[in-house]
Amino acid sequence: MVPEMSPGHSHGHSFSFLNARDRDGLTVFSRRSVLKAGLAGLAGITFPDLLRLRAEAPSTGGSMPRNKAVILLWMTGGPSHIDTWDVKPDMPSEIRGPFKDIRTKSPGVHICEYLPKQAAMMDRFTLIRSVDCRESNHEPNAVMQTANLAAEPRTNPRGHFYPAIGSVVAKLRGPNNAAMPPYVVLNMKDKSHVAWGGYLGKQFDPFIGNNVGKLFQLPKGLTMDRVHSRRALFQQMDKLRFELDGTGQMEAMDRFAQQAFDIVAGARAQTAFDLSKESAKIIERYGEHDWCRQALLARRLVEAGVSFVTIDLSNHSASGTWDTHGDNIPPYGGIWNGLRPLLPVFDHLITTLVGDLEDRGLLDDTLVIAMGEFGRSPKLGTQGSTDGRDHWPVVMSMVMAGGGFRHGQVIGASSRDGGEIAERPIAPGDIAATIYHHFGVPLDATYMDHQGRPLRIVEHGEPIRELI
């Protein structure tokens, strides 16, 4: 029998480095949280357990959340709200800008003339014109993608540790199919354009889908049988370390390695990333622009089982193609020469994606979000330009579609000149809470920072009530 340790026992032991008494990963504290966590795969249920429960649910008469997904169209650089979704036609030209406004399918709602397809489908969209994005910046683009105001590495040395919403979804819910990564980023032009796993660990970083076809090409002379043999050998060598590891870190890293192996070796992932599998009609429907091809790929990934897809809508690795400071500040351009060419591409992209998801019966389960880091300044002419707008984190607009939410509405409003929030402020935490509500993730779940302190996945936010 092992003697019981006395309260005064304080010396170390051979396995103190494992920190066996420390809590690790995401936790929930209240009784209500535990009950909710039981439904979402928390409260002691591991990710493999969750996948097993999902598979067994139909045969046991149970039910699990449906194949919920999010596609985030990240408008890198910060699109001008006044020149897109919150037009100000009655203001002087230096405020209203060079574009005209058009009516939409929703009575009384006007948007930019270069978004006619979205105007015709406005009953399927919700415009939010009162997003409070103060503290948000770019390079890195972290605050709005993490919903944490402290996620600003330019002013907070630990800002880069706050996990992306997609990473939290990857940790708490996982993919809809075990053969697919849970969180994927497409068209990433620079690491600063997206948020990462942070405190959750690198195993919850996004899977970067750039040039992914190269991953499926084995080196000359290496067969898939040899790859499987090597994988089996590595697992045998790791067995002892697994038995000694009391922290769960080895298991987590093994899941990460196994997932990476499954992605490369699995036919499902290869097929999902292969646009040649699509019919010529669908490829033609999306068109040849690379952003639109990325949208088609996002739909395929969601259909195959990915939970969260972010598309970096940028053409370069600087702060972003939507960062329209002015024609005299390359590579951005101003509103006329910089923003105007982007809008028809974006208009076609988002309406084609939403229409395709609807045609395939995926729209109610897939929430489509389009937004950037912040809005743009109310007056034209910044930083010595006559045709650009500067960063404006006081207010921005964004758009949502799908997810089974109520659409065909406008939430919130900006002031007459578009410079302030006039009504119904929407915070980053509200956006995150809406996404987690969509996935069935408990809003009071927490994760640990590097000092073992719990941090909530939602800070100062609740699901947007008008949508639910």
- 234 within a domain of the structure (yes/no): yes
Indicate the average pLDDT of the chain: 84
Between the alpha carbon of residue 193 and those of residues 164, 317, 386, the distances in Å are: 12, 8, 27
Say if 256 falls within a structural domain.
yes
Tell me the three state secondary structure of residue 354.
helix
Q: Of 286, 301, 284, 273, which Cα lies nearest the Cα of 215?
A: 273
Q: Which two tokens stand for residue 249?
A: 């870190």
pLDDT, tens digit, for every residue of 315-369?
999 999 999 999 999 899 999 999 999 999 999 999 999 999 999 999 999 999 9
Cis check: omega of the bond before 58, within 30 degrees of 0: no
Give me the pLDDT at residue 267, please.
81
Average pLDDT rounded to a whole number, residues 82-87 = 98
Strands (E) across 154-270 are located at 183-186, 207-208
Residue 237 inside a domain? The answer is yes
pLDDT digits (tens, 9 = 90+) for 147-174: 999 999 999 999 999 999 999 999 999 9
Please give the model's pTM, rounded to 2 decimal places.
0.82
Task: For 289-322, write each residue's pLDDT tens digit.
Answer: 999 999 999 999 999 999 999 999 999 999 999 9
CA nearest neighbour of 131 among 408, 416, 431, 347: 431
Residues 394-437 pLDDT 10s: 999 999 999 999 999 999 999 999 999 999 999 999 999 999 99
Has residue 100 got a pLDDT over 50? yes
What angle, 0 to 180 degrees and rounded to 10, lies between the N-to-C axes of helices 165-172 and 428-439? 30
Of 299, 267, 304, 269, the closest CA to residue 282 belongs to 299
**DSSP conformation letters of 106-125:** STT-EEETT-HHHHHTGGGE
The reply to whether 255 falls in a domain is yes
pLDDT of res. 53: 47
pLDDT digits (tens, 9 = 90+) for 192-205: 999 999 999 999 99
Is 386 strand, coil or helix? coil
Report how many domains make up the chain: 1
Answer whether residue 272 is part of any domain: no
Per the structure, the complete domain to which residue 256 belongs is given by: 224-265
Q: Is residue 235 part of a domain?
A: yes
Residues 95 and 391: their CA atoms lie apart, in Å, by: 15
Query: Model confidence at 226, in pLDDT bands (50, 70, 90)?
Result: low
Kind and range of the H or E run holding 466 = none
- Element containing residue 347 per DSSP (H, E): helix 342-359
Tracing tokens 């929930």 back to the chain, one arrives at 28
Domain-located, residue 131: no
- Round to whole Å and give the CA distance between 302 and 172: 17
Beta carbons within 10 angstroms of residue 32's beta carbon: 11
Residue ranges of alpha helices (H) inside 74-198 are 93-96, 116-120, 143-146, 165-172
Q: Mean pLDDT, to the nearest integer, of 446-458?
A: 96
Q: Is residue 259 part of a domain?
A: yes
The percent of residues above 90 in pLDDT, for the chain, comes to 70
